[in-house]
Amino acid sequence: MADIVQRGLYFEEFEVGARYLHRPGRTATEADNVVFTTLTMNTQALHLDAAFAEAQEFGQRLMNSMWTLSTMVGASVAQLTQGTLVAQLGLGDVTFPHPLFAGDTLYTESVITEKRLSSSRPGQGICTIAHTGRNQDGVVVATATRVALVHCLPSATAKE
């Protein structure tokens, strides 16, 4: 019987317009917020100081938006880029239209918006991925566009 190893997609397997729903979701915790915020040296009271945050617009601590971004992108790795990624080339169009709170569950979806073979790196291609994060109520809490450099299929002639 053959061994099957979980992996992401090779360049040829990315299909423009394809939408991936990454499951399971990830329920954010207060510990996630405090640990991530302190590890990254972010002293924002909206993440760390419950008494301060209660007196602000949302009435509670907000999840660190960089935790939300990292978790949203991370949720896509197993399906899209595990073992096939050469490098992340950039992140853009990052937005946080609604806050995420401890106790909320983050669900991520990704849409492949563009792809092209690399002109300078034979056997590799560039894929653009639009990520959207929603809470358990379907409210968009984050968006980002990621540009990834990925391997082409081993020993295959790449075709767009």
Q: How many CB atoms lie within 10 A of CB 133?
A: 26
The domain of 15 spans 11-151
For the chain, the helix, strand and coil percentages under 3-state DSSP, each to the nearest 5: 25, 35, 40
In 3D space, the residue among 159, 113, 156 whose CA is nearest the CA of residue 132 turns out to be 113
**Is 157 a member of any domain?**
no
**Is 16 a member of any domain?**
yes
- Given this model, what pLDDT does residue 156 score? 53
Residues 46 and 31: their CA atoms lie apart, in Å, by 14
Along the 160 residues of the chain, how does pLDDT read in single tens digits? 889 888 999 999 999 999 999 999 999 999 999 999 999 999 999 999 999 999 999 999 999 999 999 999 999 999 999 999 999 999 999 999 999 999 999 999 999 999 999 999 999 999 999 999 999 999 999 999 999 999 999 975 445 5
How far lies 58's CA from each of 36, 47, 61, 137, in Å? Answer: 20, 12, 8, 17
Tell me, what CATH number does 29's domain have? 3.10.129.10
**Is 136 a member of any domain?**
yes
Where would I find the H helices in 2-156?
30-39, 45-48, 50-54, 65-80
**Is 122 a member of any domain?**
yes
Listing DSSP states for 86-112 in one string gives EEEEEEEEEE--S---TT-EEEEEEEE
Count of domains observed in the chain:
1
